[in-house]
Structure 1
Amino acid sequence: MRFSQQYKRRRLMSEINIVPYIDVMLVLLVIFMITAPMLTQGVKVELPQANANPVESSKDHEPLLVNIDSQGRYYIDIGKTPNQPVTANELLDKATVILRHKPNTPVLVGGDRSVPYGEVVKLMALLQQAGAPHIGLITEMPVKQKPH
């Protein structure tokens, strides 16, 4: 009788079954692989600091200045006619040529205060497409008002 009681009593299992955990990890991996590219969209910019010093330019690293006016027209500060508006395609072509010739050229964007933010982002995306690794924004120093 004692012999039959031993078989009826079960031994405790001290192993962990990890197969369900592997399945969960694979599902999470697939989810993250699908969603990760969607999270990294945008235009890379280097925003100016509040107490930033003026950018020093040299002959070797003279910045490429690109402006957008209140009507959304683009201007690129090169050549004989820097005050002539250019189309988006012309801007892309000229910026691409400059950045291929001098890849370390800093690119600075100046925009009219009344230009919608979306138009500035489109301009920055064009410059990024042309090969600009970093894009800076041109700002004016705030004018201190005198107390009355």
Structure 2
Amino acid sequence: MNFRKRRTEEPEINLIPFIDVLLVILIFLMLTTTYSKFTEMELTLPSADTEQLRDRPKEVIVSIAADGRYAVGKDALQDRSVEGIASALTRHAPAGKDSIVIISADANAPHQSVVSAMEAARRAGLSQITFATQATSAAGQ
């Protein structure tokens, strides 16, 4: 009989699969997490650092007053419906479908008025829409 003492190996913990699993979980959590900012509701949108105004021949400016009145170009509109705004945009678009619609809304204008102007531009076939803002005081210095 052979009663020699056998050599025992020390148990070893392989950490590489454990790290792989943790990285997969971390990536999964990063991809599925949504970041909402609904608690930060202080909005002051209509000011931004903008470039100097230039004369652009393809632009149609839609002005929206604080009480929801519309003006396309320099013509005030009596009809506040989407169809009325769309027909005025079609009349005032100098480059046809390539014209750029600039929505210049008052900071206190109703949100629905801005959405109606965007819908009117879509119905008139004008897909390029931008918003006018006023320059902040830091930009003027």
Tell me, which stretches of 5 or more residues in structure 1 are unaligned? 40-44, 141-148
Tell me, which stretches of 5 or more residues in structure 2 are unaligned? 38-45, 136-141
TM-score (norm 2): 0.52
More strand by share: 2
Task: State the AA in 2 paired with 1:55.
Answer: R
The residue number in structure 1 matching 2:79 is 86
SS in 2 for 1:83: strand
Structure 1 pair 21/90, CA: closer, same or farther in 2 (3 Å)?
A: same
1:28 matches 2:30: yes
SS in 2 for 1:19: helix
Contact 1:76 1:91 in 2 (8 A): no
Structure 1 pair 46/123, CA: closer, same or farther in 2 (3 Å)?
A: farther
Quick one: distance in 1 between partners of 2:128 and 2:84?
16
TM-score (norm 1): 0.51
1:2 matches 2:1: no
Contact 1:108 1:138 in 2 (8 A): no
The residue number in structure 1 matching 2:61 is 65
1:133 Cα offset (Å): 3.3
Contact 2:64 2:104 in 1 (8 A): yes
1:64 Cα offset (Å): 0.8
1:24 Cα offset (Å): 3.6
The residue number in structure 2 matching 1:108 is 102
Structure 1 pair 100/90, CA: closer, same or farther in 2 (3 Å)?
A: farther
Contact 1:64 1:108 in 2 (8 A): yes
Task: State the AA in 1 paired with 2:28.
Answer: L
Contact 1:67 1:76 in 2 (8 A): yes
Q: Sequence identity of aligned pairs in percent?
A: 12
Structure 1 pair 95/136, CA: closer, same or farther in 2 (3 Å)?
A: farther
Structure 1 pair 111/13, CA: closer, same or farther in 2 (3 Å)?
A: closer
Query: How big is each residue's C-alpha offset from its partner over 1:78-115, in whole Å with a ceiling of 9 and x where there is no partner?
Result: 8xxx2232324225633775599423x22233445xx6
